[in-house]
Structure 1
Amino acid sequence: NDNTNDNTNDNTNDNDNTNARYPPTPPDRHWLFGHIKSIDHKIFGLPDYISYDVIFFAWMSRLKSRVIMFEVPTIGRFIVVGDAALAKHVLQAKTKSKHHGENENGSDRNDDTDTDTDTDSNTNSNSNSNSNSTNNSNSNSTSTNNSNSNRNSNRNSSHNHSAFPKAPIYNSVFPLVGRKSILALEGNEWRSQRRIYNPGFSPDYLRSIVSVMAQKCDRLLAACQEEDVDRDLPTNMLARATNLTSDIIAQVAFGEDWGNYPGGGGVGANDNGNDNINDNGIDNGNDNNNNNSYNTNASCERESEIRKNGIQTLNTFRELALIIDQNRKHLMNGSCNLRRVYRSWRLSVALDRDMRHLVQRRLDSIRASEREHQHQQQQQQQQQNEQQQQNQHQTTNQPTNQKDILSLTLSGFLRRQQRSKNNYDGNDNPASSSSSSSSSLSLSPDDMENVTSQLKTFYFAGHDTTATTISWAYWLLVQHPEKMEKARREVRDRIGHEWADNVAKNGTNTRDGLTYEQLQRCHYLDGVARETLRLYPPAGSMRCATDPDSRFKNYKLGGSVLHLNLYAIQRDPDVWGPDANEFVPERFMGDQGRRLVASHSFLPFSRGPRDCIGKYFALLETKIALAVLVTRYDGVALEAENEVYTTRITSLPMNGCRVKLRPRVL
């Protein structure tokens, strides 16, 4: 067991019992499989339906090893990684050309690794947070594009791809996210798609959608009050949070109000028949104020049809996710249910059709807005010169109600198509041909597949995992009243007494007086969100060791599938201390929080260039929902000891984090 020392710079403590943490590759690849099968996981008091990650964590504790290996039917050698140093190696290692050599220990760094410092409001000022967020997500500037070009040329000559790409098991979720999903792409294809969609997750864009998220929380509070509190019923936090996050992502990513609440989109006590949010540039799906293009009846019919389509799409997503999860479990056991496979194919076809129709609706909306834009321009040209000069800047921009992520993307396609057309025609004046640009806007089949794949990915990842985080976070807070009160005090101090009193008394107008900067100063709420993600990570990661000679600390990785068990990594007592299983948001405050967030012991959004594109979006959404919920309600967790961390593609609370809500009395 003569293991070599690792030269990587990591925060984990590798000095104690290295051989136990990194057992050498056994001569017989089935050795641990037989040993583990002899360990009935029920002896740990774990039910059969609990997440495999929890069972693996129990095995690791029993075997006193952070790395375990066994054979899985149809997959082969399966390595469960519960160690931050090995996880860091897997996430950072790149394929190398021969003249570069290869570092077995994973200590070789390059310009593409660990670029994310993951700083946010809990550890520094708003300006620093915005700067770090921009570095990670906003690639609009010319300097960034030039830098990317230079780095791309360097990559192509040396280390263009990850040495541990995504495992083939991700193919099973293609019906849900699409074959061109940013989750599954590698190399230059991934880099191109990431660059296209980065502007939709930049700090400036997040700042513009705070009021949209807050307005959706009005509906959340109304649904909790009318459907649960007034009827003296328990609240399924997962169900409520899923409706909230799906409504938000549909609005922000697709530009449509799906109204996934009882009674449709009009449940909110503050709806008053007008949901447009023109000041933030988000089209809420209501056309009542859209230059009187439609009359009231036509607008209501359109809204009803959009909401009907949205709820149908959401139901398709949910059923498809359930069937895919069942198919994956059958695959792991070496069996296959053909009837279920056929059903998943049918649902996938229906989902693709719904997404194409959604894209077409946005294309039609852009065309209509362009026509109105051109009409306004012609009218203004007939006005006096002073009026023309005053409005000239306004007429050169896109209409302000076309800033959802899909519209930003389609507008980018429009500009690229127009530039190509101008170059082909030798026309140096894009404005002269703008009248035909909107009518000729179309997507090739390949572009349509790319767009629909990313939309499905954003919807699936954007509503499912965030809803789980919100549910766990509030469920944890109601079990720790002192931490709930601490969060409330911060909301009153950072956002304002007037805002907090209004939400507590009325549960309405949550967007009034709420800003991005105020939320960035809510450090404790940020700690609550991150501590929840540490204890209950919503998703793991599976990678393939494509190099047959790949090693780490004399441990052979080649030809294996590696599962990064975040549940184990983020509860490692050697890193997180003896209270690793306790809910302690304070651990993410100050310098200690900075170090923990920057380490590879905290990986809910992965790390480096392949980190989650929507991580700041998810944190912002979680903080807004928690600020509203803790201000409005007290709660009692029901059957807290029986809540189970289980998995259905992503992790979730099996019983929905049920709580009994009580409006607060001021």
Structure 2
Amino acid sequence: MVLAMTLVSVPWGLLVCGLLCLALLRQGAKLLDVLWLRPRRLERELRAQGLHGTPYRFPIGDIKDYGRLSKEAWSRPLPLRCHDIAPHVAPFLYNTIQEHGKTCFSWFGPIPKVTISDPDLAKDVMSNKFGHFEKTKFPALSKLLAEGLASIEGEKWAKHRRILNPAFQLEKVKRMLPAFSACCEDLVRRWTESLSSDGSCELDVWPELQNLTGDVISRTAFSSNYLEGRRIFQLQSEQSKRLMTNIQKILIPGYLSMPTENNKRMSEINKEIELILRGLVGKRIQAMKEGESTKDDLLGLLLDSNMRDVDEHGQSSLGMTLEDVIEECKLFYFAGMETTSVLLTWTMIVLSMHPEWQDRAREEVTGLFGKNKPEYEGLNRLKTVTMILYEVLRLYPPAITFNRKTYKEMKIGGITYPTGVMIELPVMFIHHDPDIWGSDVHEFNPERFAQGVSKASKNTGAFLPFGWGPRICIGQNFALLEAKMAISMIIQQFEFELAPSYSHTPHTVITMQPMHGAQINLRVI
């Protein structure tokens, strides 16, 4: 009774202020733990086990140094024919490994990031030998770009992978060759029309090859042409650049909820992409409900597999929701265009630097196909072209690192890692390690792959452009077949060399790209 009377006598304003103060104190305690206490504790645990790395700096770790060193390195182009690109592309990571060893740690904000450069341990992490590792993810960022198979986890990932697998089986990909060929024909015709009276021209092939792979993914995924998908490519390109240039701010908790001009634009981009895809997917689902036959494109195969999906007990499962399908379509567009376009671009750049290999590739292609369209059996017999593509993927991997995260305490290579530690697998550094690939590691030498990937280096698992284990890139057959078709049709028609305006400045915007384009002098054969 006395307590009740006391509560009634307390002014409401004071009570509300007290509750607000408690809430603020609780949030302050959480921030203190996330931004200071926990990082300091994790740093002590890692150092106690003999690991070396950078000291934690409140509140964003090494992100500022990462950005500063990258900006400085990217302001200076590399010499032509220089393939020793790791110090230039990722200078902070390069310096950290040089100073602290091949297994070391740095700080991604308040999160410790342990770099493991041993390919055997990297494969073990990706194959889940030590238990389940989560993909390192930032939900807000994934949602703004593509929250599909590449970022989801657990049972949802297993279901999506099971539903998507049929669409990427080699037999299904082979049926897409006519679409690959038609898109390449359009590219060759467009380049031919650009030639001057002497049969030559200068062209920036980087946007041209983005257009090509965008056209391919539009036709193979949605049975539409590139013009219908152009808007999505433009939007996703802008989105990835906005995400990367603002990564330091975006990592601050709650920053994406702030009404800044950049945040509002990224939200608008995401909504427009989803609106376009919702229309494409909705029309296809309606057509299927009305009895139309399933189109033999990626979306049709995905929707058909989704409807046929059954659980482990043989019962029909819910499959993917409409939102799930839209996110996977966003990933189709981004990954389908981005990975192959950067592979083709670096291949043309490198073959321009090494004309002797361009000649060898052309001799092989013309020997198999003459001036005719390449077909699957012939593409499958391209040994020199395949060796070239592998060596380009080794020197210029589209993704320079893969990242995982410990969801519980785990032991890797004799080191116990606490919960919540990022594990960084530096693909580019593994690909450029002289202890693995030999003293010619920074030379363009496709002959190293003459006996296949497993015998190309001292370690059979050191070639990781598409990842490893259960989460290996689902589209690698698609990407390699598309790349073989494109390179074959280009070298059938053209010789090429670097233009004087080309600047050799590889840098990363999600994938490794030529910072100032890829200016090439084309000459018709």
Q: TM-score, normalised by structure 1?
A: 0.62
Q: What is the aligned partner in structure 2 of residue 349 from structure 1?
A: 271
Is the contact made by 1:229 and 1:662 (CA closer than 8 Å) also made in structure 2? no
- 2:115–2:426 contact (8 Å) kept in structure 1: yes
Aligned amino acid, residue 146 of structure 2: V
Alignment-derived partner of residue 349 in structure 2? 475
Match of 2:107 in 1: 71
Q: Does 1:655 align with 2:519?
A: no
Quote the Cα distance in structure 2 between the aligned partners of 1:43 and 1:654: 12
Match of 1:83 in 2: 118
Q: Does 1:534 align with 2:394?
A: yes
The corresponding residue for 2:174 is: 207
Task: For residues 590-649 of structure 1, give each alpha carbon's deviation from its aligned partner in whole angstroms, at most 9, with x where no partner exists.
Answer: 156556598331111100111000001000011111111112111111358732121112
1:300-337 C-alpha deviation (Å, 9 max, x unpaired): xxxxxxx3xx2222222222222222232433689777
Map of 1:254 onto structure 2: 222
Go from structure 1 to structure 2 and tell me whether the alpha carbon gap of 1:255 and 1:354 turns closer, same or farther (over 3 Å shift).
same
Asked if the contact 2:453/2:460 (under 8 Å) is kept, the reply is no
Is 1:569 matched with 2:430?
A: yes
SS at 2:441's partner residue?
coil
Report the residue type matching 2:509 in the other structure. Answer: R
Sort the Cα spacing of 1:479 and 1:199 in 2 relative to 1 into closer, same or farther, 3 A.
Answer: same
Deviates more, 1:539-548 or 1:446-455: 539-548
Q: 1:564 to 1:66 in 2, by over 3 A?
A: same
Closer, same or farther in 2 for the Cα pair 1:325/1:489, shift >3 Å?
same
In 1, Cα distance between equivalents of 2:94 and 2:200: 39
CA deviation map 1:176-205 (0-9, x unaligned): 213xx1111222211111111111111111
Amino acid corresponding to residue 317 of structure 1 in structure 2: Q
Provide the rounded CA distance (Å) in 1 between the counterparts of 2:53 and 2:365: 58
> Does 192-201 or 549-558 show the bigger shift?
549-558
Structure 1: how far apart are the matches of 2:140 and 2:362? Answer: 43
Q: Closer, same or farther in 2 for the Cα pair 1:536/1:557, shift >3 Å?
A: farther
Q: Pairwise mapping of residues 73-152 of structure 1 onto structure 2 (< 5 A)?
A: 73=109, 75-93=110-128
The alignment status of 1:462 with 2:336, answered yes or no, reads: yes
How far has the Cα of 1:476 moved from its partner? 0.5
Does structure 1 residue 175 correspond to structure 2 residue 144? Answer: yes
Match of 1:362 in 2: 284
Does the 8 A contact of 1:29 with 1:77 survive in 2?
Answer: no
Which aligned pairs between 1:20-419 and structure 2 lie closer than 5 A? 24-26=50-52, 29-30=55-56, 47=75, 54-56=90-92, 58-59=94-95, 62-63=98-99, 65-73=101-109, 75-93=110-128, 162=132, 164-169=133-138, 171-178=140-147, 181-227=148-194, 233-259=201-227, 307=228, 310-331=229-250, 338-366=260-288, 370=291, 398=293, 402-414=295-307
Partner of 1:427: none
| Structure 1 residues 639 and 329: CA distance shift in structure 2, 3 A | farther
Shift of 1:461: 0.3
Shift of 1:88: 2.1
Q: CA, structure 1 residues 451+592, in 2 after alignment: closer, same or farther (shift >3 Å)?
A: closer
Deviations 1:208-228 (A, max 9, x none): 111210111011112222246
Give the conservation status (yes or no) of the 8 Å contact 2:220–2:297: yes
Distance 2:438 2:278 in 1: 50
The alignment covers a number of residue pairs equal to 456
CA distance in 2, matches of 1:603, 1:65: 21
Deviations 1:116-153 (A, max 9, x none): xxxxxxxxxxxxxxxxxxxxxxxxxxxxxxxxxxxxxx
Give, in whole Å, the separation in 1 of the partners of 2:452 and 2:299.
38
Mind listing any 5+ residue stretches in structure 2 that lack a counterpart? Answer: 1-48, 78-84
> Which amino acid in the other structure matches residue 497 of structure 1?
G
Q: Distance in 2 between matches of 1:54 and 1:29?
A: 19
User: For residue 370 of structure 2, what is the aligned residue in structure 1?
Assistant: 497
Aligned to 1:520: 380
Aligned pair in 2 of structure 1 residues 459, 42: CA closer, same or farther (>3 Å)? closer
Cα 1:324–1:366 shift into 2, 3 Å:
same
Secondary structure class of the residue paired with 1:165: strand
Distance change (3 Å), C-alpha of 1:80 and 1:599? same
C-alpha separation between the residues in 1 aligned to 2:437 and 2:375?
33
Check conservation: 1:478, 1:484, Cα contact below 8 A: yes
Q: Does 1:485 align with 2:349?
A: no
Q: Is the CA contact (8 Å cut-off) linking 1:535 and 1:571 kept in structure 2?
A: yes
Query: Per-residue CA shift, 1:436-488, capped at 9, x if unaligned?
Result: xxxxxxx9996101111111111100101110000000110111111011101
d(CA) in 2 for partners of 1:207 and 1:581?
34
Question: 1:246 corresponds to which letter in structure 2?
Answer: G
Give the Å deviation of 1:45.
6.2
Q: Which amino acid aligns with 2:99?
A: L
**Helix, strand or coil for the counterpart of 1:642?**
coil
Residue aligned with 1:647, SS:
strand
Q: 1:233 to 1:498 in 2, by over 3 A?
A: closer
- Residue of structure 2 equivalent to 1:578: 439
Residues 212 and 47 of structure 1: CA distance in aligned 2, closer, same or farther (over 3 Å) = same
The CA distance in 2 between the partners of 1:604 and 1:620, in whole Å, is: 15
Aligned-pair CA distance for 1:174: 1.9
Local SS of the residue matching 2:246? helix
Paired amino acid for 1:362: R
Does the 8 Å contact 2:233/2:334 carry over to 1?
no
- TM-score normalized by structure 2? 0.78
* 1:551 Cα deviation from its structure 2 partner: 4.2
Q: Percent identity?
A: 25
Q: Deviations over 1:86-114 (max 9, x none)?
A: 312321335xxxxxxxxxxx5xxxxxxxx
User: Which whole-Å CA distance do the structure 2 matches of 1:597 and 1:221 have between them?
Assistant: 40
What displacement does 1:342 show? 1.9
Distance 1:365 1:549, change over 3 A: closer
State the 1:77 CA deviation: 1.3
Deviation of the 1:541 alpha carbon: 1.6
- CA deviation string 1:254-285 (max 9, x = no partner): 121234xxxxxxxxxxxxxxxxxxxxxxxxxx
State the alpha-carbon separation in 1 of the partners of residues 73 and 337 from structure 2.
32
